[in-house]
């Protein structure tokens, strides 16, 4: 029968009203389905599931990356947590979007090179 109540033909409810109720129910159902399928709210501090969804990787991979220190994360009790701002910075660094300042070249004075000439015994003693 479906989700919409079927009215008998001789119920006394005009066809236009039945159609209007049917459309209203259908619209409400569509909106509730869309709301349930909508993206979850992205918070500043995320758990494994939320961060994995945000990064587009599996939770198992994210757990492994966090445990090895590959990705910025911290533990709160026995659970991993991820800051959105730190993940964004990490992704920018990894993708090369963030411009890193070029290291300053410091010219150091060259030390004089010692003579490689082998001195004979007489030259060393001065005789």
Evaluate whether residue 15 is within a structural domain.
Answer: yes
Residue 3's alpha-carbon distances to 6, 16, 42, 89, 126, in angstroms, are 9, 19, 33, 48, 113
**Residue 109 pLDDT > 80:** no
Residue 22 lies in a domain: yes
55 and 82 assigned to the same domain:
yes
Token pair in block for residue 21: 């109720």
Question: What is residue 38's predicted lDDT score, i.e. its pLDDT?
Answer: 56
Whether 53 and 88 map to the same domain: the answer is yes
Percentage of residues of the chain with pLDDT beyond 90: 37
Number of structural domains the chain divides into: 2
Looking at 13-83, list the stretches that DSSP marks H as alpha helix, in order from N- to C-terminal side.
Answer: 15-37, 48-55, 59-68
Give dist(CA 118, CA 76) in Å, integer: 67
Residues 34 and 55 reside in one and the same domain: no
Paired tokens of 87: 């993940």
Residue 39 Rama label (left phi>0; alpha psi -120 to 50; beta):
beta
Task: Give the domain range for residue 74.
Answer: 45-95
Kindly state whether residues 63 and 26 are assigned to the same domain.
no
What would the pLDDT profile of 21-32 be if each residue is shown by its tens digit?
777 776 776 776
Residues 49 and 86 in one domain: yes
Straight-line distance from the first to the last Cα atom of the chain, in angstroms, rounded to the nearest whole number: 121
């Amino acid at each position: 029968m479906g989700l919409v109540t079927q009215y008998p033909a001789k119920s006394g409810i005009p066809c236009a009203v039945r159609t209007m109720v049917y459309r209203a129910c259908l619209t409400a159902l569509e909106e509730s389905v869309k709301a349930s399928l909508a993206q979850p709210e992205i918070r500043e501090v995320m758990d494994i599931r939320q961060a994995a969804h945000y990064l587009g990787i599996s939770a198992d991979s994210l757990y492994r990356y966090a445990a090895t220190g590959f990705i910025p994360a911290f533990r709160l009790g026995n659970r991993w947590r991820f800051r959105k701002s730190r993940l964004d910075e990490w992704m920018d660094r990894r993708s090369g979007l963030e411009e890193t300042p070029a290291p300053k070249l410091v010219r150091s004075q060259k030390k004089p090179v010692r003579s490689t000439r082998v001195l004979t015994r007489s030259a060393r003693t001065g005789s």
